[in-house]
Structure 1
Amino acid sequence: MKILVTYISMSGRNEKIAKHLADYLGKEADVDLEQIVDTDAYSLSDYDAVIVESYTYGDGQVPDEAQDFYEDLADVDLKRTKFAVLGSSSKTHIHFGRAVDYFTMQLNSSNGEQVSDSVKINEDPDEDDMLRVDRLGDYVLKSLK
């Protein structure tokens, strides 16, 4: 099983979550961890599963640094590659976690197979949030068996 965890982080929250998730999944799978800015959307179908993690910027946008990756997804055929999406945001914003929704829709439109509900975390993850991240990982692993 080969899984990619790709993330974008401004405050370090999403990086912390991505590293936790990669360590968690790494107990049972071969995991690549990289930043979205270093991820080639056209290579995603080389993986058995892909997990995308993003914060939400400004008025609910995908972060500028992730925009090229996001736009490239529109031209990618994921060939039923399994995927999940998560991200940290702030509930004080009217568009809480909207980038998570955008990535979820884009990956579905790219013929991916969503294997877990998307996870939105309010600011710094607490213990319960990390359990939800682990559950997302469990769904991804289960889908590959």
Structure 2
Amino acid sequence: MSNILITYTSMTGHNEKIAKHLEEYLKGKGADVTLEQLVDSDAFDLPDYDAVIVGSYTYHEGELPDEAQDFYEDLEDVDLDRTKFAVFGSSSKGHIHYGRAVDYFTMQLNSSNGDQAADSVKINGEVEPDDLKRIETMADYVLKSLE
């Protein structure tokens, strides 16, 4: 059974909705899932999981949210030892820095020796049924990478 961490930060509730949907979906596929807020996650624990899925919104001028800063900075000192990962985030295409936090986390997880199991998913605003299907596809790729 796969041991997967879903860790996220959410200001509007969109990423929380996505994270909870992911948790339910992955559990339905037989995975052992831990769901927690990014602020409560310890980057140094990530290698203990088979896979990690990170969700973050993009703040202000393309910045990481304050509650994601410590985790992100700690990733610089973590060797993920090929831990599988995926990244998602809700943002607004109305901003010039649409989904930049998703890009930052994807780059840092790759730089930390992680193994990207699925393309990152950016969702424009409110989570729609088609968005959840893209999230499920991302989750399926993560599961397939663990076979």
Task: Report the TM range for the smaller structure's normalisation.
Answer: over 0.9
Which consecutive residues of structure 1, in runs of 5 or more, have no partner in the other structure?
Answer: none
Scaled by the length of structure 2, the TM-score of the pair is: 0.98
* TM-score, reference length from structure 1: 0.99
- Check if 1:21 corresponds to 2:6: no
CA–CA separation in structure 1 for the residues paired with 2:67 and 2:38:
8
Cα distance in 2, alignment partners of residues 115 and 101 from structure 1: 15
Tell me the SS of whatever aligns to 2:107: helix
Would you say 1:117 and 2:80 are equivalent positions?
Answer: no
Letter in 2 for 1:100: V
Q: Deviations over 1:14-43 (max 9, x none)?
A: 000000001100122000000000000000
- Map of 1:53 onto structure 2: 55
1:133, CA displacement in angstroms? 0.3
- Displacement after TM superposition at 1:66 (Å): 0.5
Unaligned stretches of 5+ residues in structure 2: none
Q: Which residue of 2 aligns with 1:10?
A: 11
Alignment counterpart, residue 40 of structure 1, candidates 39, 42, 61:
42
The within-5 A match list for 1:88-99 is: 88-99=90-101
Look up the equivalent residue of 2:22 and give its one-letter code.
L
Kindly provide the CA deviation profile for residues 33-89 of structure 1, in whole angstroms up to 9, marking residues without a partner as x. 000000000000000000000000000011011100000000000000000000000
Structure 1 residue 125, shift from structure 2 partner: 1.0
* Superposition misfits of 4+ residues, deviation over 4 angstroms: none
Percent identity, aligned pairs only, is 70
Distance 2:146 2:50 in 1: 7
Q: What code does the residue aligned with 2:13 have? A: G
Deviation at 1:116, TM superposition (A): 0.4
Give the superposed CA RMSD.
0.4
Distance of 2:86 and 2:67 partners within structure 1: 20
The code of the aligned residue for 2:82 comes to R
Q: How many residues align?
A: 145
Tell me the secondary structure at the aligned position of residue 22 of structure 2: helix
* Residues in 2 aligned to 1:100 and 1:37: alpha-carbon distance in whole angstroms: 16
Query: Given residue 79 of structure 1, which amino acid in structure 2 is its aligned partner?
Result: D
